[in-house]
Amino acid sequence: MEGLKKDVIRHVVSSLGSDYASKSAYNYYNALALAVRDRLIDNWIKTQRSYYDEKAKRVYYLSLEYLPGKSLMNNLHCLGIYETARKAMSDLGFSLEDLAEQEWDAGLGNGGLGRLASCFLDSMATLGIPGYGYGIRYDYGIFHQVIEDGKQVEQADNWMRVGNPWAYERGQHLFPVRFFGEVKNWTDEYGRLRHTWTAGDTVLAMPCDMLVPGWDNHHVINMRLWSARSDVEFDLDFFNTGNYLGAVEEKIFDEKISKVLYPSDQIEEGRELRLKQQYFFVTATIQDILRRFRKKHQDMTELPQSVAIQLNDTHPAIAIAELMRILLDEDLLDWEVAWDICVSTFAYTNHTILPEALETWPVSLLERMLPRHMQIIYEINARFLREVERVARSEDCGQLCHRDLDHLKQRVSLIQERPIKSVRMAHLAIIGSHSVNGVAALHTELLKARVFDDFQRLYPQKINNKTNGVTPRRWLWSANQPLSRLIASHIGTGFVRNLDELTQLEPLAADPAFREAWRAAKLENKQRLQAYIKRKLMRELHTEHLFDVHIKRIHEYKRQVLNLLHVVTAYNRLRHGQAADFTPRTVFFGGKAAPSYFMAKRIIHAINAVAATVNADSRVNDKLQVVYLPNYCVSQAERVIPATELSEQISTAGMEASGTGNMKFALNGALTIGTWDGATIEMAQAIGPELLFIFGMREDELVSLRQHGYNPMLYYHGDEELREALDMLRSDAFSPGQHGLFAPLVDNLLHGGDRFFVLADYRQYLGAQQDVGRLYLDQEEWTRRSILNAARMGFFSSDRAISQYAREIWDVAPMAGLQNGKGA
């Protein structure tokens, strides 16, 4: 402890240039972070050396998004110095919790996809897998959300301003990134046609490393994020021509590339700058990967034995064309050899089947920005379509394929002709990879049977499932100390590394004393949340209420509106005196809407309007409260999830690829009310469906309902309570003086076809909520179920997910000597 204290004081003085006697929480947080980073960097250097020594196969995870959240507490726990640090800082006059408040929540992603990437890095570090995360260091992460007059207002997330003590900026290792220009043809000494791309513009990519420690194992991996730097300073001519200000403007223009994260989740924006971001990060990453590879290898055909590259959705899919370009134009390999290397190296994860999220880039844009890549994509396509023809004519595909050949080719082509000629990035990712995986069992089945059915017939081995998982380090141990300590006092701490050990809790579910202790831990978390809400929103929560929580991005398919209709119905019953047996509850909503997503923003407004009405109504507000949690983010999730009793997972069946919040809640002892969708299905199977509240139509039922003609008006006319709730929303009951404010929402359901089947599931949802309320009155049974839910969540650890990727896709093994928590 004395060592850590000394280091902290030294950093306050010599790294931060401040007086250690002036007790600024900001300085002491930064100094502590630097002292922790010192302890990580030694292990990181040793880890990297061991990869070279053991010629380990490396895994590269390419993702345009990460959501690391805050690092301090997690890193202290992983290093096993949490208690030491707590005492040391207390001696210096600080509480660790207060210092942790100083840290900026690193929000370099939108939602589940980015958080999954961060959980995966944690698991690679803990399992001892030689992994690297690659991405972009956005100057502005996901916007900061404030609620003003019930509406979402976006503010810039200027996280660079406060500085980042965790990152190593490596300004001396810059990689060039080229755009535009032209392609020249030439003939090599064997008479083969060759291509050289001479680019118009160049920018530089600067690496910025953030270290990711494993749990108690001395293994430290890194997340390398690229920041755009102009090359104008290097081009003295630019300044010497006398146009100094012009040169500076050019510099600012170049550095725009890594300025801001696109804040839309699963809605494609198709902006030129976004494509630039994708290529910028991909080419810098591939150059870095090959630099490392070439230190020990000359023969490029050995690449797939040394390197596995995982594409997190199609956002980095241009990497396939980029590696081809390097192998063809720089290493001068033959097409077939280069293509084999690519396909054996790349693997692609699909995260959504929503058509509006599937990426395409206009051919005209690609031709201009990346002319050589466009040529390569055309060549990949031509060869692929010839192969399709060959397979289709062969006997195993049969008559059907053959007759349908032209249509089949149009469907699977990399190029789509309408509405404008574009490249389908998912098709590029599928063809250029040896593995395509979905993120939950149902999702993968839908990929095979619907979205990529043609590819499933062409390559029956390629599509596979890897159900998502979450890291128990952050989402149980670090976020929920009261519960973790209770669990550890009965079964030890092994579950943090091996989550299956939670099954040892099962017999304890029958033990009244353990149940009481389990409830006490939940209450402690509810009280912590109560204090937080009081401080932040100046509102008093009732901790004896059932805490019912719906936090995630706002999206129509996630059906926050269905939840809202339940709230309005409960409100009406209470108002009308028809709910004598109503179980008091507080309903929490939280989540950001894409700034350009009109309907999502209007949903936020409606939730806040209903909340204002309900909370102000003294007839009901001792029994029903509604809270909108502004600026939902990773660190807020860490506070809210441990305090939650009911987890809302109510997406339209078939539309939530996996979900990962669902797992975090159950792991922390919340019961789930949910639809038969995504990974919630597998959770119900692992836990026992009778221990969750499952309701609503299944995916195949929705397909047939759609086929037979779904008429939402039927439900409206057939259900009095539903009609009352919708009529209130449409009128000005929740928007006094602003008649029609929420009409777009209601019209979308009644006259817009209700694409997400809100009305079809309303009655069943109400029934399930009634069951929830009734069960909550029986606290013993509720607690028993809560314990069993948590006890059976072992499968949903990201360690299990990463072990499967390692074995079944990457063919990598954990580093020797690291499996048992003993560091190298």
What are the residue numbers of the active site?
Answer: 351, 552-553, 558, 660, 664
Answer yes or no whether residue 647 interacts with ligand TH1 by CB under 6 A: no
Please enumerate in sequence order all residues whose Cβ is within 8 A of that of 678, keeping only pairs 6 or more positions apart, or say none: 440, 442, 443, 649, 651, 656, 657, 658, 659, 662
Eight-state DSSP code of residue 676: S
Name the minimum Å distance from CB 273 to ligand TH1.
15
CA proximity to 354, closest of 133, 115, 113: 113
Burial class for 472, CB neighbours closer than 10 Å (0-12, 13-18, 19+): buried
Chosen residue from 47, 277, 352, 769 binding ligand TH1 by CB under 6 A: 352
Chosen residue from 27, 43, 110, 258 binding ligand TH1 by CB under 6 A: 110
Chosen residue from 222, 658, 748, 786 binding ligand TH1 by CB under 6 A: 658
CA distance 162 to 695: 46
CB atoms within 10 A of CB 460: 10
Name the minimum Å distance from CB 112 to ligand TH1.
3
Chosen residue from 112, 207, 630, 642 binding ligand TH1 by CB under 6 A: 112
Stretch that binds ligand TH1, among 84-92, 108-116, 141-149, 330-338 (CB under 6 A): 108-116
Residue 77 or 466: the one with the smaller Cβ distance to ligand TH1 is 466
Which residues in the 460-499 window bind ligand TH1 by CB under 6 A? Answer: 468
CA proximity to 462, closest of 359, 339, 360, 343: 343
Output the DSSP codes for 502-549.
GGGGGGGGG-HHHHHHHHHHHHHHHHHHHHHHHHHH-----TTSEEEE
CA proximity to 47, closest of 288, 209, 283: 209
Answer yes or no whether residue 133 interacts with ligand TH1 by CB under 6 A: no
Name the minimum Å distance from CB 105 to ligand TH1.
19
Stretch that binds ligand TH1, among 26-34, 105-113, 272-280, 584-592 (CB under 6 A): 105-113
Residue 782 or 795: the one with the smaller Cβ distance to ligand TH1 is 795
Answer yes or no whether residue 313 interacts with ligand TH1 by CB under 6 A: yes
Number of residues that bind ligand TH1 (CB under 6 A): 19
Residue 473 or 558: the one with the smaller Cβ distance to ligand TH1 is 558
CA distance 18 to 21: 9
Residue 405 or 599: the one with the smaller Cβ distance to ligand TH1 is 599
Chosen residue from 73, 113, 323, 423 binding ligand TH1 by CB under 6 A: 113
Answer yes or no whether residue 116 interacts with ligand TH1 by CB under 6 A: yes
Answer yes or no whether residue 660 interacts with ligand TH1 by CB under 6 A: yes
Name the minimum Å distance from CB 317 to ligand TH1.
12
CA distance 164 to 7: 18
Stretch that binds ligand TH1, among 16-24, 330-338, 518-526, 651-659 (CB under 6 A): 651-659
Q: 266 near 65, Cβ under 8 Å?
A: no
Residue 552 or 585: the one with the smaller Cβ distance to ligand TH1 is 552
Eight-state DSSP code of residue 806: I
Chosen residue from 204, 439, 733, 746 binding ligand TH1 by CB under 6 A: 439
In this structure, what are the phi and psi dihedrals at residue 68, rounded to the nearest 5 degrees?
-70, -25
Answer yes or no whether residue 351 interacts with ligand TH1 by CB under 6 A: yes
Chosen residue from 338, 357, 607, 681 binding ligand TH1 by CB under 6 A: 357
Eight-state DSSP code of residue 161: T
Q: 121 near 131, Cβ under 8 Å?
A: yes
CA distance 316 to 323: 12
Residue 656 or 682: the one with the smaller Cβ distance to ligand TH1 is 656
CA proximity to 404, closest of 391, 392, 387, 418: 392
Q: How many helices, marked H, and strands, marked E, lie in the chain?
A: 34, 25
CA proximity to 724, closest of 704, 746, 708, 757: 746
Chosen residue from 657, 758, 801, 812 binding ligand TH1 by CB under 6 A: 657
CA proximity to 573, closest of 648, 625, 624, 611: 624
Q: 759 near 749, Cβ under 8 Å?
A: yes
Identify the residue whose tokens are 């020249």: 184
Answer yes or no whether residue 7 interacts with ligand TH1 by CB under 6 A: no
Answer yes or no whether residue 277 interacts with ligand TH1 by CB under 6 A: no
Residue 360 or 530: the one with the smaller Cβ distance to ligand TH1 is 360
Instruction: Dig out the tokens for 355 from the structure.
Output: 């058509």
Answer yes or no whether residue 659 interacts with ligand TH1 by CB under 6 A: yes
Answer yes or no whether residue 266 interacts with ligand TH1 by CB under 6 A: yes
Name the minimum Å distance from CB 660 to ligand TH1.
5
Amino acid at 730: R
Residue 333 or 357: the one with the smaller Cβ distance to ligand TH1 is 357
Q: Phi-psi category of 180—alpha, beta or left, where left has phi over 0 and alpha has psi -120 to 50?
A: left
Answer yes or no whether residue 108 interacts with ligand TH1 by CB under 6 A: no
CA distance 529 to 544: 13
Name the minimum Å distance from CB 64 to ligand TH1.
8
Contact set with ligand TH1 (CB under 6 A)? 110-113, 116, 265-266, 313, 351-352, 357, 439, 468, 656-660, 678
